[in-house]
């Protein structure tokens, strides 16, 4: 069992950071929220957009029923990103790729801020709001390069309609991405869970995979979560403050 939450890394964690070769990091909405990205959830109430609950407009059923409305919602979400930029947590994690022999960064966020910070090979478990995917041939296109204003956009490969390339309510995570994340979690020595409530499965099960494989599991969050009691160490604080601190020895 972990000790009480603390604001600085323990001696053991500092030593593990110095010697670790394989590190796995799972990030969630709390990291993006520090950049001003709206979570569209929280406060005990369901978000509503144009009279439709978040769970309805962001659902697989709505893609079937009213694809243009889904695009309108996700265009609004991209607009809400506005001037959001990577924060110190994103930047610290990007630098970690040159610090460890192997760093796997998996995220539940869809805003692309990890890549914008310079992280490479990010495992985007829930997709990316800046990408469209063809309903027919599954071709993917970066909306910033696609340049089409029509909604839904037409697939450059086959001409069929495209949808936002994100995991919607009623859909499974992309299994190839999740399988790779699970494989890396099972092989890591250190696992960090940063800015997530650890409630959304199956992504929230990744820290358990790491722990069962013998990894030292560290949570970074301003508030306790359901995961806190099973972590080896809990660093209570904002990701943008804690992650850069870990670069300097905690």
Question: Catalytic residues, which ones?
Answer: 126
* Phi/psi of residue 80, nearest 5 degrees: -70, -20
Asked if 218 contacts 13 with a C-beta cutoff of 8 angstroms, the reply is yes
Distance CA 125, CA 160 (A): 25
Give ∠ CA 42-48-51 in degrees, rounded to 5.
Answer: 170
Whole-number Å distance between alpha carbons of 92 and 242: 10
Distance CA 44, CA 41 (A): 8
Cα separation, 213 vs 147, whole angstroms: 45
Q: Are 191 and 215 in contact (CB under 8 A)?
A: yes
Select from 50, 174, 64 the least CA-distant residue to 123. 174
Do the beta carbons of residue 8 and residue 228 sit within 8 Å? Answer: no
The H or E element spanning position 29 is helix 29-33
How far, in Å, CA of 175 to CA of 177, rounded?
Answer: 5
CA distances from 139 to 111, 122, 157 (A): 20, 19, 7
């Amino acid at each position: 069992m972990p000790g009480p939450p603390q604001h600085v890394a323990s001696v053991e964690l500092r030593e593990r950071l110095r010697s670790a070769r394989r590190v796995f990091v799972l990030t969630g909405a709390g990291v993006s929220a520090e950049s001003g990205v709206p979570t569209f959830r929280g406060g005990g109430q369901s978000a509503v957009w144009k009279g439709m609950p978040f769970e309805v407009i962001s659902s697989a059923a709505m893609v079937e029923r009213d694809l243009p409305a889904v695009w309108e919602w996700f265009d609004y979400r991209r607009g809400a990103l506005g001037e959001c930029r990577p924060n110190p947590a994103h930047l610290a994690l990007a630098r970690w790729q040159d610090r460890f022999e192997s760093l796997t960064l998996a995220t539940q966020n869809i805003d692309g801020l990890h890549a914008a910070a310079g992280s490479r090979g990010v495992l985007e478990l829930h997709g990316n709001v800046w990408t469209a995917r063809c309903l027919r041939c599954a071709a993917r296109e970066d909306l910033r390069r696609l340049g089409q204003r029509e909604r839904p956009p037409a697939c450059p490969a086959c001409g069929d309609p495209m949808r936002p390339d994100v995991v919607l309510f009623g859909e499974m995570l992309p299994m190839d991405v999740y399988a790779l994340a699970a494989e890396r979690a099972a092989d890591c020595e250190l696992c960090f869970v940063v800015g997530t409530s650890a409630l959304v499965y199956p992504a929230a099960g990744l820290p358990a995979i790491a722990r069962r494989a013998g990894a030292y599991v560290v949570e970074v969050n301003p508030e306790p979560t359901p995961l806190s009691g099973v972590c080896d160490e809990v660093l209570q604080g904002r990701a943008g403050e804690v992650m850069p601190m870990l670069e300097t020895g905690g």
